[in-house]
Amino acid sequence: MRLGLIGGTFDPIHYGHLVTAEVARYELRLAKVVFVPAGQPPHKPGRQVSPALHRVAMVRLALTSNPHFELSTMEVERPGPSYTVDTVKEFQRLYREAEIWFITGADAVAEVPTWNRAEELLQLCRLVAVARPGYTLRGCAGKQTELPDLWRKIHVMQVPGVAVSSTEIREWVRMGKPIKYLLPEPVEEYIAQHGLYCG
Ligand code: NAP
């Protein structure tokens, strides 16, 4: 069976992530898609990321209406930086027969050659780079020689209607602009209740 893992900081989760997971499930014939919020994003030592408690709570609220979606708190419970290779290995141990497809943003995939044990990761799973309409993996071109296997293993998936980004949502909240229709209502309510992204 094919198992989809969708990784991200999810600060906050929005409809772009949800549409992506559903399109990937359908197109790649995934048995289910597990959302894996990153604990300590290894590449963001300088950026303030909301506490995992909030990010996980928002993902949980967003997933209730799709029986094919699940949440894993594996990365937030694991101490230290959240290396994708460790996560994929753990899912392989849990689902021995599964073929794992790791889905994330194309901008993040462009950086894969710099990820921890990238070659090992590429042996373990297929990567799905989610591209906003019009995006190309141009930025990775210079890194081709380092990991030739990368390009064969990447499945680029163009998802219509995912122009929304977590960065914009945080910015809009900070400016007092409405975020309605960009993310599920319970997530919007959670952000307001907890005063996230205001400061
Ligand atoms: P990011 O830098 O926050 O995101 C890069 C871009 O990709 C943003 O435009 C982001 O949009 C988009 N994106 C991120 N996740 C997405 C998703 N699931 N679906 C669609 N678009 C997505 O990247 P990140 O979230 O921190 O990292 C992405 C994944 O890569 C995480 O699972 C992280 O653990 C993993 N990672 C692993 C390593 C490593 O093992 N060394 C290093 C870096 C990243 P939004 O802001 O709207 O989400």
CATH number at residue 108: 3.40.50.620
At residue 142's C-alpha, the angle toward residues 148 and 11, to 5°, is: 90
Q: Residue 150: pLDDT above 70?
A: no
> DSSP states of 128-167 as a string?
EEEE-TT--GGGGGGGTTT-THHHHHEEEEE-TT----HH
Q: How confident is the model at residue 141 (pLDDT cuts 50, 70, 90)?
A: very low
Asked if residue 57 is part of any domain, the answer here is yes
Ligand 1 contact via 82 beta carbon (within 6 Å): yes
Domain that holds residue 61: 2-162
| CB within 8 Å of 96: residues ≥ 6 apart | none
The verdict on residue 45 lying in a domain is yes
173, 179, 184, 185 alpha-carbon torsion, rounded to 10°: 90
Establish if 99 belongs to a structural domain: yes
How many separate domains does the chain show?
1
Residue 171 falls inside a structural domain: no
Does some domain include residue 185?
Answer: no
- Residue among 104, 166, 170 whose CB has most ligand 1 atoms within 8 A, to mutate: 104
Q: What element of type H or E holds 33?
A: strand 32-37
Tens digit of each residue's pLDDT (9 = 90 or more) over 79-120: 988 899 999 999 999 999 999 999 999 888 888 888 999 989
Cα 8 to ligand 1 centroid, rounded to whole Å:
4
Quote the pTM value: 0.93
115 within some domain: yes
Establish whether residue 9 lines the binding site of ligand 1, counting it when its CB lies within 6 angstroms of any ligand atom: yes
Q: Is residue 50 a part of any domain in this protein? A: yes
In a domain, 197, yes or no: no
